[in-house]
């Protein structure tokens, strides 16, 4: 009996991949499962020779792994775009974030600002520096551990404002998503997929990758707070 097609992904795409894996198994007879963790951790596993067939990560990480020879040539493709959104604990005032001035006010009034590892966290730190607030907010920034949603720090009381991919915040209990960042401060990440060079089942893995890029997958991704590159 052949083993499942195995995939690795970052946490941002875990909800959509879980739903799509179940659909692909039932509708197409391709047994696939994904193991999700922080993007930095997943990239480390790939570099250390993890046994898997598929990879779904942010485009920057994919590009680096492709250059290093860890991905099957010609298989890298963009899949979904995810926006970074702000969130606050349920029951607390929701700050207006429809203008850059509103974002600045929310940042400077927060006592704890949670952010994630990976590209969205790096982009947020860059944005804070661009706004000239790096020194002001330095002691208020709280980075969530790899694989832990930044929104989880809202529930624990360690932060009163959090920033992360929409898909990772939208279903967390006790968390209210405020919305995307306004205008030129908006942050988005493109997530793509590829077949790993170490795959022992590259043919079926390609089939699954094609299905992840299908219209059915696009509808699922939109329901999970993402969009496809052709609708960006």
Q: What number of helices (H) and strands (E) belong to the chain?
A: 10, 10
Q: Which residues lie across from 33 on neighbouring strands? A: 6
Residue whose C-alpha is closest to residue 209's, from 60, 222, 232, 199: 199
Task: Dig out the tokens for 171 from the structure.
Answer: 């279903």
pLDDT in tens, 89-104: 999 999 999 999 999 9
Domain spanning 5-80+190-231: CATH 3.40.190.10: yes
- Phi-psi category of 61—alpha, beta or left, where left has phi over 0 and alpha has psi -120 to 50? alpha
Rg over CA atoms, the chain = 18
- pTM over 0.75? The answer is yes
What is the rounded distance in angstroms from the CA atom of residue 97 to the CA atom of residue 50?
A: 41
- Residue 62: which H helix or E strand, with range? helix 59-67
Give backbone dihedrals phi and psi of 24, rounded to 5 degrees, phi first: -65, -40
Confidence of residue 228 (pLDDT cuts 50, 70, 90): confident
Q: What angle, 0 to 180 degrees and rounded to 10, lies between the N-to-C axes of helices 215-223 and 14-28?
A: 140
Which pLDDT score is estimated for 2?
66
Which pLDDT score is estimated for 145?
85
Look up tokens 């197409």; give the residue: 28
Q: Where are the domains of the chain?
A: 5-80+190-231, 82-185
pLDDT in tens, 135-190: 999 999 999 887 788 888 998 889 999 999 888 888 888 899 998 999 999 999 89
Burial class from Cβ neighbours inside 10 Å (0-12, 13-18, 19+) for residue 104 reads: middle
Mean pLDDT of the chain: 92
- The CATH code for residues 82-185 is 3.40.190.10
The answer to whether the beta carbons of residues 161 and 88 sit under 8 Å apart is: yes
pLDDT in tens, 24-54: 999 999 999 999 988 889 999 999 999 999 9
């Amino acid at each position: 009996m052949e083993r499942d097609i195995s995939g690795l992904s970052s946490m941002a795409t875990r909800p959509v991949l879980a739903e799509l894996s179940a659909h692909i198994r039932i509708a197409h007879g391709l047994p696939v499962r994904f193991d999700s963790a922080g993007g930095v951790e997943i990239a480390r596993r790939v570099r250390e020779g993890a046994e898997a067939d598929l990879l779904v990560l942010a485009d920057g990480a994919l590009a680096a792994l492709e250059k290093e020879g860890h991905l099957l040539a010609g298989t890298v493709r963009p899949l979904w775009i995810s926006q970074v959104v702000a969130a606050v604990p349920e029951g607390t005032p929701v700050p207006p974030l429809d203008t850059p001035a509103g974002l600045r006010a929310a940042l400077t009034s927060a006592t704890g600002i949670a952010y994630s590892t990976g590209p969205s966290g790096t982009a947020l730190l860059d944005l804070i520096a661009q706004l000239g607030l790096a020194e002001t907010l330095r002691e208020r920034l709280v980075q969530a551990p790899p694989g832990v949603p930044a929104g989880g720090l809202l529930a624990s009381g360690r932060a009163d404002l959090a920033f992360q991919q929409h898909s990772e915040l939208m279903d967390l209990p006790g968390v209210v998503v405020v919305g995307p960042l306004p205008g030129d401060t908006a942050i988005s990440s493109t997530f793509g997929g590829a077949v790993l060079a170490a795959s022992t089942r590259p043919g079926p893995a390609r089939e699954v990758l094609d299905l992840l890029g299908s219209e059915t997958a696009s509808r699922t991704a939109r329901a999970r707070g993402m969009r496809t590159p052709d609708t960006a």
